[in-house]
A and B are shown apart, each in its own frame.
Chain A
């Protein structure tokens, strides 16, 4: 059973470009979470999604950031018009559906975004 997959692992963008980060949850998992880790800091929650629904986006910046988890395909975190302050590691986690007996989150390897 493959773990949480994220791609790309490293992404370099120039200021003003768009960044798209992809996350494929573990098989059988229907909940996806995105976290951001700034240098020398812990992870900060951004958004929680289920298939075709955003459940909690209380940690998302108000502008330029969006997330989706379509019926088919991976979850996407999209950052428009990137700025240097967006440089960070972005981690995706997934957990099983409600009623499965556990809601432990399993993390992917992360995407390290560098904005030049």
Chain B
């Protein structure tokens, strides 16, 4: 079975500071990993995905994530936070031939002026 753990349900950073959102996964087979962002009352938008190619994945809006197999992690980072980054972020995993995504419980990012 696969699972995802997002450490920290709420993260606050100052505008211009580094953003680090943590995601650890559990999977018995090589995973596909995703980060989605959800703005209030909207659907999920794909930020980036890892599909066994490069371990450092670059996404939209300046976000990137690094797949570390030894740590079973896929943390999301952005060098400099912007006010518009305030949203909820979800890490998700998919394995093997299964189509469904398994989501973490989400991290609410607040950007302080």
Contact = CB atoms under 8 A, between A and B. Distances in A.
Contacts of B31: none
Contact of A33 (B36, B42, B90, B99): B99
Contacts, number: 50
B56 interface: no
Interface residues of A, number: 27
A4 interface: yes
A31 B43 CA distance: 18
Given A91-B44, A104-B46, A108-B43, A55 B99 contact: yes
Contacts of B98: 56
Interface in B67-98: 90, 98
A42 B68 CA distance: 23
Interface of A: 4, 6, 31, 33, 35, 41-45, 48, 55-56, 58-59, 91, 93, 95, 103-110, 112
Interface of B: 36, 41-46, 49, 90, 98-106
24 contacts: A4-B43, A33-B100, A33-B101, A35-B103, A42-B90, A42-B104, A42-B105, A43-B90, A43-B103, A44-B103, A45-B100, A45-B102, A56-B98, A56-B100, A58-B100, A59-B100, A91-B43, A93-B44, A103-B99, A106-B46, A107-B43, A107-B45, A109-B42, A112-B41
